[in-house]
Structure 1
């Protein structure tokens, strides 16, 4: 029995993407070129990278419906993604991409069956584990976004912004302390 299926996967992805979009909106366009260190992605390029993140899993599971990654041309596919990442984009275009492509991906997630999510996909020869479920592979999109969103939250701090999730938590804690003091 599955307790976490396509609907839950879509809902959790939407939550993660909503928080990414909030960060993208809160950081001023003048800071989109900011890099935490040399040879790292800028704020803008990190957001573009996040926006393009679902495409590999969409290709593997949605377009090709692969049962094996043997023969998948990773260098060519990743080369196209890297070229797409390099295209100059303004803040509003990036925010729109995150919103529109994110919602399209979430709708696709909602359409998936439990049987489909449970199917195994063979990894290239020599990889461990030898196979993964489609669910695990697709869940990786959300994990990847959260990884890079943590980087963005650190960059927010470096440019003087307290991340919205921190502000929300601080407000909840202050309300709880006020409520406790009244009791």
Structure 2
């Protein structure tokens, strides 16, 4: 694993988290209670869920779990669900995203390559039967990207253009303007 180690994982996660924080900051607090459907998380609940997501990987790898069957997922999920249910203002959610993101990125930054290469046995019947710690830790970023996709749709539903879309539109407009012949 000489090309992508703990420092690279941390940098990549920081980029993803900073974009999530930007989305959280762009959405007005009055829209944090918006849900796409009754049985879905609200925007605010989704942001708290995203903030908590890396905690599972941090628990597994921070405790050097080598067999996933040894993790009490019911207990972890109960704690996460209780934490998600706590009422928070927009400012508190943004601060929570920042603090949890910084903590996880700092954790990733210090992980040695040998540790990232260690196998972790998955649940019986899972394919593959084991994954490296690297792959499992990378899943925290994948989880966040999944929910960021949802947040981008939610932003559109409440009348906002996501910041990454705005930035891309600005770049395209600049290129189009630069390509115009001089008059």
TM-score by length of 2: 0.96
Q: Secondary structure of the residue that 1:132 maps to in structure 2?
A: strand
- Structure 2: stretches of 5+ with no match in the other structure: none
Distance 1:182 1:17 in 2: 40
Distance 2:134 2:115 in 1: 8
Provide the aligned length of Structure 1 versus Structure 2.
182
Cα-to-partner distance string for 1:14-56 (whole Å, 9 max, x where unaligned): 0000000001001011000000112000000000000000110
Q: Secondary structure of the residue that 2:180 maps to in structure 1?
A: helix
Cα-to-partner distance string for 1:52-98 (whole Å, 9 max, x where unaligned): 00110000001x11111122211111111111111111100000000
Q: How far off is 1:124 after superposition?
A: 2.0
Q: 1:34-45 counterparts in 2 under 5 A? A: 34-45=34-45
Distance 1:175 1:158 in 2: 27
Cα RMSD over matched residues?
1.0
Match of 1:140 in 2: 139
Q: Does 1:82 align with 2:89?
A: no
Moved over 4 A (4+): none
Distance 2:70 2:101 in 1: 28
Distance 2:139 2:171 in 1: 30
Cα-to-partner distance string for 1:115-162 (whole Å, 9 max, x where unaligned): 111110001222221100001000000000010011011010011100
Match of 2:28 in 1: 28
Match of 1:3 in 2: 3
Q: Secondary structure of the residue that 1:70 maps to in structure 2?
A: helix
Match of 2:47 in 1: 47
Q: How far off is 1:6 after superposition?
A: 1.0
TM-score by length of 1: 0.96
Q: 1:163-174 counterparts in 2 under 5 A? A: 163-174=162-173
Distance 1:76 1:89 in 2: 23
Q: How far off is 1:5 after superposition?
A: 1.2
